[in-house]
Structure 1
Amino acid sequence: MAGIGFALSKLRSQNNLAGHSIATGHAIMITAGPWIVIMIGLALISWLGVPLVGAEMTTTFRVLVIYCFALSLVVTAPIALELNLRVSAELFERRFDRVHGIYAGALGVTALVTVVLAWLLFAVIIGLDMPTATAATFCVLQVSLLWLTMSMVAAIRQYTIVTTGFTMGLSVSVVLGLSLASLGYGVAGLLTGFGAGLFLAFSILHGLIIQTFPGRVYRLTDGIGALIAHPMRSRTFVIAGLSSALAVWIDKLVVWQSYEGTAIAHGLIHAPRYDVPMFIAYLSIVPLMSVVSIWLETDFFTAYRKYRDIVHSGGTLRHIDAQRTAITWQTTNTIFSAFVVQIAISLVLALAGPWIVSLLGMGLETLQVLRLALIGAAFHFLFLACVGVILFVQYARAYFFLQAVFLVLNGGLTYVLLANPDALGLGYVIATGAAAILAYGVMVNTLKVMNRLTFVDNNPAVAG
């Protein structure tokens, strides 16, 4: 993602509030654009849809979109990591003409896998009627393509168009979805309209990518074949990407299958007492996570590039280690300071829990879960920030280890603590706390062994 740093640096270097605000806003869309659009869209449709089409229809729609979101992340996370590794290698070798084919092949693989799995889930396992299953498959396809495209947007500097594209897509999703539902198309209409808005956002971003990396137009089968024919850049990263997506959702899946799960239309299961507080908690870390992303793509990238330049220019070991030490100090200080700020934000929101519950019309039974979720989200922020640094320097084994540990902890502790209904959400807090502390330690160790990573592990001449 190092390509986004230049534009963000230019914005952030403006010594005024507007420059910093715009940079932060663009970073939010770059790091969590689809997630933000989907959550805001769900909130707007739920708020506006109840008077128009009723609470039952909007609830069914909301649960199906959550299913779409979860499935899309599981499908695209490993593909996006492999795409980024291949594109980064081609850009490093200045083979810009190959990026188009790699991107097209990744889109083809993503579309094929998404459609097959989505149809299996919605039509076969859940057993939705044909129109609703088709609309749900269309919706999850758009989310998957949007996630994959966002992994490439980092190389594009036209951030105003990116943010505008998401805004336009969100508007179309809400207006068209509610219009089709009001005309009698029901949940299928809501899903189709929602997916159409996501398709608009995807089309805008896709056009920017094609314009930035022009190339020969491949047949879909050729693009997929070329992608599959070449060995993966890193099987460890691909498996780690799948683990990271599952780790985020494993606690929800466990809770949905417990006594907290509530069945609605079509046999769909959700857990309102757990789902809503968790999504609010996730939203609470987005602003500061975007700030950390700006730092990663600007200050950290600049320092890391200087370190690599010293290495490749034949600098002395003393100069190399001095720069590595400076990076270590800057990184640990920045990450820890950001974590302290996030803890303060979570505590303030936790104290304001009764007001939030009342404002959103949530039951008082969600208050305790919300407070636990907010504390857990602060640790989740620390975990994400640390693994972000580890991913940046491409320490595959450490990244996979941390994602696997978080997956096991989040699923296992949530399951064990479900024995006590009053402890709902505590499993997530303990899991994120343990994973965050471990991730911080692994990140510090990663920075200590950065010389080995640079000279040996990530050196093509040595790795073969």
Structure 2
Amino acid sequence: MAGIGFVLRRLTRQDDLTGVVVGYVYAALVSSGPFLVTVIAMAAVGLLGDAAGEQPAVATFRLVTIYNFALSLVCCGPFLLVMTRYLADRIYEHKVEEAPGMLIGATAVTLGLQLPLVVWLYFIHADMTLPERLAASVHYFLICGIWLVSVFLSALKDYRAIGYSFAGGMALGFAAAHLLLPDFGAAGLIGGFAIGLAAIFFALTLRVMVEYPYGILRPFAFLRYFPRVWQLAVFGFAYNLTIWCDKLVLWLAPEAETAAIGLVSNPAYDSAMFLANLTTVPVLAVFIIAIETEFFERYQTFYRAIEQHATYREIRANQAAIARTLATAGRSILLLQCIVAALAILASPALFAALGIDARQLGIFRLGTLGSLFQILFVFLTIVLAYFDLRMRLVQVTLLYLGLNAGLSWASLAWGFAWYGYGFFLASLLAFLAALAVVIREVGRLPFLTFVKNNASIR
């Protein structure tokens, strides 16, 4: 599944600056496409609404986008990880005929299961007009579809098609929202960007079908993987809930607001955390191009040598190479994220003033930026655990992170506004330290894991 990383790595090694810039831009879209679309959409709509004097419509759009992004990510999480494992196994076995069918089947199952939630949220709970309800529902399902098709992005080689899909969809969505806003208000904004999301979803789906030119075979076969790798489903749900649980808790704060349509949010906390999360995009791009590819090469060398009956000395040497690669990668991620975080924190007063953001949100943004630093390190460690098939360890460290984030964020409610953001920061730091201890221990006994613990033939 690291395939596109090798293609982009070759692009960045060309003897010109353009290749480097283009490679990392495409890597950012592959790693953070849906998140970038969400942030850019809200920023663009804010500018559009200010120019048109349609602030109520903009407020409704932002709430719908936040709710749809959060709920779709949490609800799709279990499917995304199981689908990724299923597709990776099919690629390893050179049996990718089921890939198009899996996408169709997963889309049907996921959207079908989430239909009651969407009906309750927008047709029962929220106070919206019928066009707004319909537009918000379509918007939600399209975001779900993009999450599902994103499973295939790291396996595709055509990075240009991915980039054009996201860029073209965002441009189309902004243009459609601009045209529909004057006559249809909030429904026009939501529906306009839904048009852009539809363009992204269908373009990426078409790219998958071109990459895997097979019929719709066994569309629901991937479901049999849930009992087999249920830990990945739990991890996918728990980690994505962890990302959002501090926001959900802070929606109970005294500063939280209930909009006219009946949806609750905490604008001061939510917007500051959204901006803080943006600081992780550069590291995710570097991870795809430079870090995962190098680690994957060491990973393959270790297991291929075992398949070829390597000696104990060779196995230990390859294990040491993996450890060195992980240490180097960890330092690179830490250094880059520290630089990005420091620049963001130092520039935040001027940035907030230029954007017209309340200066009281500076503290939340800075804590969110520091928390994001340790969160991205935590993500790196969970990927390592996933590579070595340590699924129960994944579940354990993620549930720890979830409990810490929820509990400490809840405690900050009693401490007051000055403490908002500390819960996420401390939870990310402690979860990272716990995951680091687990990875160090497991990599240190990698031969035992390979020959004994993960050896299905002796279970």
State the Cα distance separating 1:444 from its structure 2 match.
1.9
**Which whole-Å CA distance do the structure 2 matches of 1:449 and 1:108 have between them?**
42
* C-alpha contact (below 8 Å) 1:395/1:453 kept by paired residues: no
Where do 1:347-426 residues align within 5 Å? 347-420=342-415, 421-426=417-422
Partner of 1:278: 273
Indicate yes or no: 2:263 matched with 1:258.
no
Deviations 1:8-52 (A, max 9, x none): 232133244332222211111111111111111110111122221
* C-alpha contact (below 8 Å) 1:5/1:301 kept by paired residues: no
Indicate yes or no: 2:185 matched with 1:186.
yes
**Which whole-Å CA distance do the structure 2 matches of 1:447 and 1:12 have between them?**
30
TM-score (norm 1): 0.94
Indicate yes or no: 2:264 matched with 1:269.
yes
Seen in structure 2, the aligned counterparts of structure 1 residues 238 and 188 have a Cα distance that, compared at 3 Å, is same
Gaps of at least 5 residues in structure 1 are none
Where do 1:3-402 residues align within 5 Å? 3-183=3-183, 185-217=184-216, 223-224=219-220, 226-228=221-223, 232-402=227-397
**Which whole-Å CA distance do the structure 1 matches of 2:176 and 2:53 have between them?**
14
Seen in structure 2, the aligned counterparts of structure 1 residues 456 and 49 have a Cα distance that, compared at 3 Å, is farther
**Which whole-Å CA distance do the structure 1 matches of 2:225 and 2:294 have between them?**
34
Deviations 1:326-376 (A, max 9, x none): 111121222123213312321222122210110111112112212221111
Matched-pair identity in %: 29
Moved more, 6-15 or 415-424: 6-15
* C-alpha contact (below 8 Å) 2:232/2:391 kept by paired residues: yes
Seen in structure 2, the aligned counterparts of structure 1 residues 311 and 349 have a Cα distance that, compared at 3 Å, is same
State the Cα distance separating 1:456 from its structure 2 match.
4.4
**Which whole-Å CA distance do the structure 1 matches of 2:268 and 2:454 have between them?**
45
Give the secondary-structure state (helix, strand or coil) at the position aligned to 1:266: coil
Give the secondary-structure state (helix, strand or coil) at the position aligned to 1:419: helix
* C-alpha contact (below 8 Å) 1:71/1:118 kept by paired residues: no
State the Cα distance separating 1:140 from its structure 2 match.
0.9
**Which whole-Å CA distance do the structure 2 matches of 1:411 and 1:302 have between them?**
37
Seen in structure 2, the aligned counterparts of structure 1 residues 132 and 318 have a Cα distance that, compared at 3 Å, is same
Moved more, 401-410 or 118-127: 118-127
Deviations 1:68-99 (A, max 9, x none): 00011012111011111111122222212122
Give the secondary-structure state (helix, strand or coil) at the position aligned to 2:155: coil
* C-alpha contact (below 8 Å) 2:334/2:377 kept by paired residues: yes
* C-alpha contact (below 8 Å) 2:86/2:222 kept by paired residues: no
**Which whole-Å CA distance do the structure 1 matches of 2:140 and 2:102 have between them?**
22
AA in 2 matched with 1:285: T
* C-alpha contact (below 8 Å) 1:8/1:294 kept by paired residues: yes
Aligned CA-pair RMSD: 1.8
State the Cα distance separating 1:442 from its structure 2 match.
1.9
Indicate yes or no: 2:439 matched with 1:443.
yes
TM-score (norm 2): 0.95
How many correspondences in the alignment?
A: 458
**Which whole-Å CA distance do the structure 2 matches of 1:6 and 1:348 have between them?**
29
Gaps of at least 5 residues in structure 2 are none
Give the secondary-structure state (helix, strand or coil) at the position aligned to 1:418: helix
AA in 2 matched with 1:346: A
* C-alpha contact (below 8 Å) 1:274/1:366 kept by paired residues: yes
**Which whole-Å CA distance do the structure 2 matches of 1:337 and 1:6 have between them?**
18
State the Cα distance separating 1:64 from its structure 2 match.
1.0
State the Cα distance separating 1:454 from its structure 2 match.
3.2
Give the secondary-structure state (helix, strand or coil) at the position aligned to 1:154: helix
AA in 2 matched with 1:140: Y
**Which whole-Å CA distance do the structure 1 matches of 2:458 and 2:179 have between them?**
59
**Which whole-Å CA distance do the structure 1 matches of 2:91 and 2:319 have between them?**
24
Seen in structure 2, the aligned counterparts of structure 1 residues 202 and 312 have a Cα distance that, compared at 3 Å, is same
**Which whole-Å CA distance do the structure 1 matches of 2:439 and 2:288 have between them?**
16
State the Cα distance separating 1:437 from its structure 2 match.
1.6
* C-alpha contact (below 8 Å) 1:4/1:297 kept by paired residues: no
**Which whole-Å CA distance do the structure 2 matches of 1:177 and 1:440 have between them?**
45
AA in 1 matched with 2:61: F
Seen in structure 2, the aligned counterparts of structure 1 residues 22 and 453 have a Cα distance that, compared at 3 Å, is farther
AA in 2 matched with 1:180: L
* C-alpha contact (below 8 Å) 2:82/2:226 kept by paired residues: no
**Which whole-Å CA distance do the structure 2 matches of 1:59 and 1:376 have between them?**
27
Moved more, 323-332 or 9-18: 9-18
AA in 2 matched with 1:451: P
* C-alpha contact (below 8 Å) 2:242/2:402 kept by paired residues: yes
Deviations 1:125-172 (A, max 9, x none): 334333222211100111111011111111111001101110010011
**Which whole-Å CA distance do the structure 2 matches of 1:391 and 1:408 have between them?**
21
Give the secondary-structure state (helix, strand or coil) at the position aligned to 1:30: helix
Partner of 1:432: 428
**Which whole-Å CA distance do the structure 1 matches of 2:128 and 2:448 have between them?**
53
State the Cα distance separating 1:414 from its structure 2 match.
0.5
State the Cα distance separating 1:449 from its structure 2 match.
3.1
Deviations 1:415-444 (A, max 9, x none): 101212211111111111111122222222
**Which whole-Å CA distance do the structure 1 matches of 2:88 and 2:195 have between them?**
31
Give the secondary-structure state (helix, strand or coil) at the position aligned to 1:267: coil
